[in-house]
């Protein structure tokens, strides 16, 4: 039997139930993993009934779609703030690599949702692609600076793709097969930085 506790829930009184649901879903991902992300379980964590959940999210897919976009938005905003506060372009690349690998290690399910899974919602994917392009534009400017301002756009874009592929490849191996490849967080960062250095020196 589902108890209609939303009438007395602090979340509902303050009009922030949707926010509490998103925060609860994020906690479930961090503390228990993707396999425990059910509407019933998230409702318990958010302090509301399952019926209250349905007023905001029609099903688990809808919750995951929103959560994915929310996580990606928060991630890019945080990285951009820290990149803007960093020093020269070399320090920014080092920070970018360390943050991405660190994020994948600390929050593997978040990382998988954001970067490795294509969702079924077309509008969600379009919005995520838009945010991704905005985010990568900042990284592209750093790559341009490291290569030289005279480097052709096509070359900068190619080197950026290679850097991102190297980074995501290292993160994926670290999450899925760390023992087989002898990877730790620090080793993945070190290897990625070495490969990125080779990529950036290729045009000199």
- What are the DSSP calls for 36-94, one per residue? G--HHHHHHHHTS-HHHHHTT-SSHHHHHHHHHHHHHHHHHHHHHHHHHHS-SHHHHHH
Q: Is pLDDT at 76 greater than 90 in this prediction?
A: no
Domain harbouring 134, CATH code: 1.10.357.10
Same domain assignment for residues 147 and 116:
yes
Q: Which domain holds residue 113?
A: 68-201
User: Is 63 inside a domain boundary?
Assistant: no
pLDDT, position 160: 96
Q: How confident is the model at residue 10 (pLDDT cuts 50, 70, 90)?
A: very low
Convert the pLDDT of each residue in 184-197 to its tens digit.
Answer: 999 999 999 999 99
DSSP state of 7: G
Q: Is pLDDT at 66 greater than 70 in this prediction?
A: yes
Same domain assignment for residues 42 and 118:
no
User: Is 159 inside a domain boundary?
Assistant: yes
Tell me the mean pLDDT in the region 160-182: 94
Q: Is pLDDT at 19 greater than 60 in this prediction?
A: yes
Q: How confident is the model at residue 119 (pLDDT cuts 50, 70, 90)?
A: low
What is the number of structural domains in the chain?
Answer: 2
Same domain assignment for residues 182 and 100:
yes
Domain harbouring 12, CATH code: 1.10.10
Least Cα distance to 31 among 147, 114, 109 occurs for 109
User: Is 62 inside a domain boundary?
Assistant: no
Same domain assignment for residues 84 and 175:
yes
Same domain assignment for residues 43 and 77:
no
Tracing tokens 């929103």 back to the chain, one arrives at: 66
User: Is 60 inside a domain boundary?
Assistant: no
Convert the pLDDT of each residue in 77-116 to its tens digit.
Answer: 888 888 888 889 999 999 999 999 998 998 888 788 778 7
Give 158's contacts (C-beta < 8 A, 6+ positions apart): none
């Amino acid at each position: 039997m589902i108890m209609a506790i939303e009438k007395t829930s602090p979340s509902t009184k303050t009009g922030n139930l949707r926010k509490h649901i998103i925060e609860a879903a994020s906690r479930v991902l961090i503390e228990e993993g993707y396999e425990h992300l059910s509407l019933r379980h998230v409702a318990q964590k958010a302090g509301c009934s399952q019926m209250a959940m349905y007023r905001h999210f029609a099903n688990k897919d809808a919750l995951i779609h929103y959560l994915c976009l929310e996580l990606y938005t928060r991630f890019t905003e945080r990285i951009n703030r820290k990149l803007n506060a960093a020093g020269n372009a070399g320090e920014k690349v080092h920070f970018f690599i360390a943050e991405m690998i660190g994020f994948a290690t600390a929050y593997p399910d978040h990382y998988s949702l954001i970067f490795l899974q294509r969702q079924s919602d077309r509008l969600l994917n379009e919005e995520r692609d838009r945010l991704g392009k905005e985010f990568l534009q900042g990284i592209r400017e750093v790559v341009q600076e490291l290569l030289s301002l005279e480097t052709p756009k096509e070359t900068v874009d190619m080197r950026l793709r290679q850097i991102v592929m190297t980074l995501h490849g290292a993160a994926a191996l670290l999450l899925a097969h760390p023992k087989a490849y002898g990877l730790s967080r620090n080793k993945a960062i070190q290897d990625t930085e070495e490969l990125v250095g080779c990529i950036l020196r290729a045009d000199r």
